[in-house]
Structure 1
Amino acid sequence: MLKQDENLSFIIEPELSPRSEQRIDLYFSIPNEMGINPQTLTEEAYFNNHFKSHLAYNANNIHLPLVRSRFVSKNKGEQQDYRQNLNLYCYQVRLAIDTDIKDTLKIKELDEFYQRAIELCELSQGLLKKLRRYTPDDEKLISFYTNADNYLSWHIEQSFLKLLDEGPRSSDYAKERTELMNFCKAEQNYRHEQQYNSESTLLDANRLTNKMRLLQRLIEHGVVLNRSTRHLNSYLKRLVKGTVTAIIMAFVMVVVLNARISFTEVTATLVIILGAIYGMREIFKEDITRVIWRAIVKGRPKWRFQFRNSVTKDKIATQYIWLEYTRFRHIPEDVRKIFSKRRQQNKQAAQWLHFASEIRVSAKEFLPGYDSLQQNLQFSLAAFTRNLKKGEGKLYHIDNNKISKQSVERRYQLNVVVSYQSAQEIKYQRYKITLNRSKIVNIELIYSEME
């Protein structure tokens, strides 16, 4: 399922089982008026700056009532076991609170909004109590506990302050707002009593935020898999470039030798001919190399990710990435049929960009209590908006013999077909993404074969 992440990005989050394989293809139809083509945005530039892939033990789409508190109670055994169990618990709480706060902010009805907010507050209090109930006795484990407790307390407080700031307001619900504010103040006082953060840190917002980001990375240790990236075909590209250069140089040398035979003395004509030969070599060498290289790598993966457990260093999964501009006739027939279902007025001249991800899970089993992995594929559209035109238009109306006007913004539409391929079947979805220069306005599911 494709869904919006930030202002100009969307994510796809498939689940993976042990010993499984999955392939996801995205076909982008980018209108020519957006100015995106291989010259303005190369595949390598988009991959390096606007695409991210993460893999973690599956704790996504989890809500606060479902958080597994039993992990944090396992404070017996090895030091690394305690840290990993604690990190799993904190990671679940963080994702759950983010998911529930985001869902609550979508509620527009006041009574339902504040009822849900109070429920989340009570659940959060319970989860924090469970964490603090199992304070370790071993001094070696105290640092892990204090980092987790400090971060969770701060993150939950920030989440509820955001909820109060962005949610609907009414004087009729002053009691509920006060209760939520008191909860945030209580967490702030708790961290102050525990002396988790120095006064200088508390007085500097940037310093405090950076510290919490560091603590967030620490609690992801052992949960989010480490990723290593390798650019495939790099040696092959050097070989192709060297071979093309050798062939062109051999041809140039033959022409030069023939010219020397024809001209027994160095003349102006000979100098001009030699200059023209070397100039032609420089003009066509890069073009010939690029054409041959594109023909060779067409259909081949360009990058490889390897994901390893950050604790045991065991390899968990391998992911291969394809990314290339293509032509409509080279797109699979099933995908072409889905694109062809668009209305006639929506069929614009477009560039076609194909992305593919193929991942193979090599692990036979995961951490206790987790039977799947959650992959996060994040696509940023910021590069697509770089060349969009600025400015707003005006729409005029006649209302009771008076002319009124309304400002309208310029919007663009991307069509994306997503195919999910497993060992059993292939299923397709088509989305229409509406965006302007600053954000994604809407993501609409147009066609789906998914249940």
Structure 2
Amino acid sequence: MITVERKDSFHLKISRVLQEETSHRLDLFLFVPGELGLNEHVISEDAFYYSGIHVKRTYYSDKHHLPLVLSRLASRGKLSTEQYRLSLSLYAYQYVVALERATQSLLDTARKVKKAEGEERDESGEPSAEESKGRDEESRETLSDPTSVGLEERLEELCELAQGILRRLRRNRPGEDNLLKYYANIDNYLSWFTEQRLLALLAHLPRGRNYRAIRERLLEIVQAESEYRDQEEYNASRVTRDPTRMSNKMRLLRRLIEYPVTLKQKSQELGGAEQKAVKGLATGLVMIFVSLGLLQARDAWGNITALFVLAMAVLYAMREVFKDDLRNTLWRWLRKGRPKWRRQYFDATSNAMVGRQLEWFDYKRFSKLDEQIQRVRQRNVAQREEVVLHYRSSSRMSPTRFLSGYEQTRETLSFDLSQLTRLMDKGSHHVYRLKDGQVTRESVEKRHLLNLVVREEVAHAEPILQRWKIVMSRSRIVDVVKVHQEGGEKRTADKEALAKEALAKEALAKEALNLHRI
């Protein structure tokens, strides 16, 4: 399943988990409003690709306790030190990714609840205690996800899961110095990161007595983690007092955690030798016609005359004009539909190549898109002038060369839209509203609606198609909303079967761990 979310002000983060199949194909179609004036002359395909698209792949396991089981076996001398570092890093990385996603969803819900409560107070004045309680409950029911429980219950569940994961990590503290340094770095970062995400939730949590209990629970966890780091002496006092130094240290620890589980990449632009061959062929063809023209001119005028010199000048001028045109035409014809870049993935420890990926990026016309994409886009008359940016990747992985126990990878594709902001208007305008008999003036900024259509194809499975609406202004990405999804039924059934199999394997792994303990 593919998820699209806002990473920061101008970056979209597109994530997906690549299953055990060896071949995958991903298509991204970004529909940009025509009023921005985007075309290949404003931002070339190569410039957008190199500065706007960044891909990262990491190991992934849906057997969430397997990395921790392997790290415990390594701490007992059953596995190597490198395996301990890899397993513990993967356990920590998957926890960090899950906590980021969960807290971001809760933050969005909390902001919506606060906004709804603020609008209700503005309309009806300061409510009584009973009214406030009733409205809090109503806001939680209407604004929360209909498939989930209320905000307070979701926060409680998050606290339980976070504490449980940290307890399992700290239950088996290694005694060897060579393992303890890896454990201390990971434990230090996870404690600080958990504290930061919970503090962010506290800062945006709605006010009111309905959230008093969960607020106290979050404060209790935050204080406990801070005291735990002080007790373990993970950070010097000068680092703790300086937020900048603390943040920089934790950023370094995050990189140390990600390094063993992130696949190394080597990118190569394709067609270099072909481009040289096309250039030579175009020059040779043009020179053949120029030489024939010179021979005909010499036969016609004989000696060197003014007409002969003029004919030579015309022929050489035509050579300069048609040489570039012929070369560009041959190059477009030769490279049409073929990949432009190749990316190779290597294991960070063994340096063994574990997969390859071919990539395309170009401008498309709406009429040239296939029927599936046109149907999902559902474009109307007002959007005929849209410019379509198309990115495609086709990858083939080799699970047999992965780390032992891991047959999946998690791909994170960062899409930088800051280049589009330069084409947007700087100014804002005012909107007048009539409120309670008074005319109010509000300043608003101009926003643009972009559409992102995603298609994921996996061997022997129905493709998944999604459409996301991206609301964007010159200063930031305002909102990202999924509005359409189809396909993937067979893959869902297969995923459920794999989940049951994973639970069985996890039970066996736990049993093996208990045997080692005995």
**Fold-level match, TM-score > 0.5?**
yes
Match runs of 1:271-420 below 5 Å: 282=320, 285-339=323-377, 341-345=378-382, 347-364=383-400, 366-367=402-403, 369-397=405-433, 403-420=439-456
| Equivalent residue in structure 2 for 1:197, among 206, 221, 235 | 235
Distance in 1 of aligned mates of 2:366 and 2:155: 49
CA separation in 2, counterparts of 1:428 and 1:182? 43
Equivalent residue for 2:33, pick from 19, 31, 34:
31
Residues 140 and 442 of structure 1: CA distance in aligned 2, closer, same or farther (over 3 Å): closer
Distance 2:292 2:207 in 1: 83
**C-alpha distance in 2, partners of 1:411/1:435?**
6
> Quick one: structure 1 residues 128 and 426, their matched pair in 2 at CA, closer, same or farther if it must change by over 3 Å?
closer
Q: Of residues 466, 469, 480 in structure 2, which corresponds to 1:429?
A: 466
Specify the alignment match of 2:120 in structure 1. Answer: none
TM-score calculated relative to the size of structure 1: 0.85
Q: State TM-score, norm by structure 2.
A: 0.75
Which aligned pairs between 1:178-197 and structure 2 lie closer than 5 A? Answer: 178-197=216-235
* One-letter amino acid matched to 1:356: R
- Paired residues for 1:44-123 under 5 Å: 44-59=46-61, 69-74=68-73, 75-76=75-76, 77-108=79-110, 112-123=150-161
Query: Amino acid of the residue matched to residue 422 of structure 2?
Result: R
What is the identity, as a one-letter code, of the residue corresponding to 2:72?
Answer: S
Q: Is the 8 A contact 1:244 1:285 kept in 2?
A: yes
Cα drift, residue 96 of structure 1: 2.2
Deviation at 1:286, TM superposition (A): 4.0
**Cα separation, partners in 2 of 1:69 and 1:447, compared to 1, 3 Å:** closer
Query: Paired residue for 2:118?
Result: none
Letter paired with 1:70: V
**What residue number does 2:172 align with?**
134
Give the counterpart letter for 1:235 in structure 2.
Answer: A
Higher mean Cα deviation, 165-174 or 410-419?
165-174
Cα distance change of structure 1 residues 67 and 139 upon mapping to structure 2, 3 Å threshold: closer
2:4 maps to 3
Alignment of 1:146-165 (within 5 A): 146-165=184-203
Mean CA deviation greater in 349-358 or 388-397: 388-397
How far does residue 282 in structure 1 lie from its aligned partner after superposition? 4.9
Equivalents in 1 of 2:13, 2:319: separation in Å? 45
User: Conserved in 1, the CA contact under 8 Å of 2:466 and 2:484?
Assistant: yes
C-alpha distance 136-428 of structure 1, shift in aligned 2 (>3 A): closer
**Residue type at the aligned position of 1:435:** M
Cα offset for 1:300? 0.3
Tell me the amino acid that sits aligned with residue 23 of structure 2. Answer: E
How far 1:422 moved relative to its partner? 2.6
Give the drift of 1:183.
3.0
Cα distance in 2 between the residues matched to 1:287 and 1:10: 38
Inter-partner Cα distance in structure 2 for 1:404 and 1:368: 65
Q: Matched residues in 2 for 1:237 and 1:373: separation?
A: 34
Provide the aligned C-alpha RMSD in A: 3.4
- What is the percent sequence identity of the aligned residues? 32
Label 1:81 to 1:401 Cα distance change in 2 as closer, same or farther (>3 A).
closer
Letter in 1 for 2:413: L
Does the 8 A contact of 1:35 with 1:388 survive in 2?
Answer: no
Q: Which runs of 5+ in 1 are unaligned?
A: none
Looking at structure 2, the residues matched to 46 and 103 of structure 1 have their Cα atoms a distance apart, in angstroms, of: 30
User: Size of the alignment, in residue pairs?
Assistant: 445
Q: Which runs of 5+ in 2 are unaligned?
A: 114-135, 138-149, 490-518
Q: Flag the structure with higher helix content.
A: 2
